[in-house]
Structure 1
Amino acid sequence: MPVDTKAATDRLMRFLAVEGVTGQEAAIGRELTAALKESGVPAKAIRLDDANTRIPVPTETGNLIVDLPGRGALHNQPRIMFMTHMDTVPLCAGAKPKKSGRKIVNEAKTALGGDNRCGCGVLVTLAAELAKQKLDHPPITLLFCVREESGLYGARHVKLDELGSPAMAFNYDGGSASNVIIGAVGADRWNVEIFGRASHAGVAPERGISSTMIMALALADVKAGGWFGKVVKGKSQGTSNVGPVTGGEGRPAGDATNVVTDYVHVRGESRSHDGKFFKEITKAYKAAFEKAAKKVTNAQGKSGKVKFKAETDYFPFRMKDNLPVVKRAVEAVSAVGGTPNVRTANGGLDANWMVRHGVPTVTFGAGQNEAHTIDEWINLDEYDRACALAVQLATMR
């Protein structure tokens, strides 16, 4: 089915030029709203929800939701949803997109923002083509989520009844438009506060309790036990990582080399396709920090203390190949000239929460490459295919 690829690329370039790092999506939300109206979507069909009032970190705006009534022979079919996220990682701030042949590259030393301005371009192009070509389609919801990059918060806090209770959904967030992603890992996000005791490191180090040493012993224990990085325990597999190590918000871990460090804050994550196993990985970290705290004592016999907290960021899922949403996805990819690559993802997706909400959701790519790096670029051939795929998915009988 023909798509105006020049208009689709122009939209993508337009959206890439609008900064909108995670939590600061108001400007890109306004730009998407304007582009949707220009594409023929009535203003009354476009709205923001109040998910940002439920998200526990500062978020400028809610999710952007668009209602497209069904048309023609398909107007009474069950509602379907197309979704993407409108935030980027902070590394995208200051991006300068530039076309280079069949690629979009970046003139700035930042990430480009194809993740996920590509998805935004696909959804707006879908709305534009449905209106321009007056194509028959079922009722459709378009959902542009906030704060995907910092915890899938927009999808987590959306209300299902505000989406019109779709029967299935198609999410755009990945590399190739031929990828049919039907499952993804679950993850814990954990943090630990390590409390020691400050002392002059040259005059009386024995009076101190080093939080740094507690952390070092704990992480060495985790590594020795096989719980760091790629984790394989029998038939169970997962991953873990230790992220920022600080002395609290905006502070280094430790004040000076001549002071025994009394406080360290560590953040990390545990992932697995097995919903129980990523919890086991988290428990291994907790046990290691608690054990290490007891080992580090001062001359008076006092030991350090730890305060370990963990929260499930998202739950793993894997849909069956024979579900209607998967069959529709595979058929559509083939119809636009692709070879369906049915697979699972090792990263979290907004689809994790949509499936949790009860909406079976398949995820596709839209031409993004080297996301979250300064080498990021967009394959316009894949982007064009992703746009054509969306139209195919929306109009299949």
Structure 2
Amino acid sequence: MYQVNRERLIQTFLELVQINSLSRDERNMADRLTRELQELGVEVVEDTAGEKVGGNAGNLICTLKGDASKPTILFTCHMDTVAPGLNIKPQLLEDRITSDGTTILGADDKAGVSGILEMVRTLKEQNLQHGTIVLFLTMGEETGLLGSRHADWEKLPKIDMGFAFDSNGPIGKVVTQAPAQERIEVTMHGKLAHAGVNPEAGINAINAASLAISRMKLGRINERTTANIGNFHGGDATNVVCDKVTIAAESRSLVLEELEAQTQHMVDAFQAAAAEYNTTCDVTVQRMYSNLNHDVESEVVQTAFKAVRSLGFEPSTMASGGGSDANVLNGMGIPTVNLAIGYEKIHTVSEFIRLNDLENGARLLVAMTQAVL
């Protein structure tokens, strides 16, 4: 049921992964997708997200008009990839596609993007009925969901439910839980002094910041919450007592109360250490995105389940430790789940996707358009 053109899909994927599109440099990818979608009769609008975050392309907000009496659904994938992702040379093997081992492959998320193009072609060729479909193709997802967080939301029509195609795992897995994230940026102040002549006159910001971190609960806090120190920078010379350290950290949790408690624990540790060293610290906390939490009986989950079952797969839910554009869409009031599309070992030079998973991901997109009729 819901067959797609496998060879065309594979060829599209091979072409797309060879388009350089690191985060904030998605221009060539956006132009290719704009051209192809417009040729298929899809309305394409590019927003100003790229301008807001220093990129050379915005998000593509694409509308394939359909039966207005049916729910309007949104599909989202991202156009950007991580490094090392320049000049990718995909290798087509008997049952899978890999890179040549020197770069990532870029199946995250060009498997999803290729599937979207094949889905539109299939709807047209097979004259399948559908409601209005919005394609939200984002820039900068790999660098903190920049595209979706800075989207021109007024350019989107009213959406009934959304589906991200951007998760690892076998076809049929539906991400119904994903954490909210807060970013913590700290500047620990100290006082300069000569480290050999009069160190007593100085206040070592490295010592103060290190004391704070040593007192923190970090890593896996429990099955719902994690925390991490991402970078720590300070000092220029060994003969100078360091007067400033900057730290970037994060906390994540499936439960907002636990997220806020973990973040406050980390902030308190920095402030207490600064007080003990008779100095100060500047702390800023930013909620990067909201959590994702859908009951299995919710309409958006049951719609995904219906589509999965129509292909002969058994659906199941899972929780993710990472955020995606689905988190942002949920935060904007659009019920959205994230669906697994089968890519493996993403963000490594060993990344690959099986040909059957690439095909079934595209079939699932088609099935989703029919599940809401």
TM-score norm. by structure 1 comes to 0.88
Q: 1:218 aligns with which of 212, 226, 241?
A: 212
Quote the offset at 1:273 in angstroms. Answer: 0.7
Alignment of 1:1-397 (within 5 A): 1-38=2-39, 40-41=40-41, 45-53=43-51, 55=52, 57-70=53-66, 74=67, 76-175=69-168, 176-222=170-216, 227-232=217-222, 237-246=224-233, 253-296=234-277, 303-396=278-371, 397=373
AA of the residue aligned to 1:99: L
AA of the residue aligned to 2:103: T
Counterparts of 1:291 and 1:84, CA distance in 2 = 43
- CA-to-partner distance for each residue in 1:216-238, whole Å, 9 max, x for gaps? 1111111xxxx211114xxx841
Counterparts of 2:275 and 2:254, CA distance in 1 = 33
SS at match of 1:276: helix
SS at match of 2:271: helix
* Native 8 Å contact 1:76 1:139 kept in 2: no
- CA-to-partner distance for each residue in 1:35-84, whole Å, 9 max, x for gaps? 3245x235xx112022334x4x31222210111111xxx55312111111
Unaligned ranges ≥5, structure 2: none
* Native 8 Å contact 2:83 2:103 kept in 1: no
Counterparts of 1:211 and 1:259, CA distance in 2 = 11
* Native 8 Å contact 1:201 1:257 kept in 2: yes
**RMSD, matched Cα:** 1.8
SS at match of 2:246: strand
Quote the offset at 1:108 in angstroms. Answer: 4.4
Moved more, 85-94 or 361-370: 85-94
- CA-to-partner distance for each residue in 1:178-217, whole Å, 9 max, x for gaps? 1111221101011101111222222222222111111211
* Native 8 Å contact 2:19 2:87 kept in 1: no
SS at match of 2:211: helix
AA of the residue aligned to 2:282: K
* Native 8 Å contact 2:208 2:273 kept in 1: yes
Counterparts of 1:108 and 1:343, CA distance in 2 = 30
Counterparts of 2:298 and 2:191, CA distance in 1 = 57
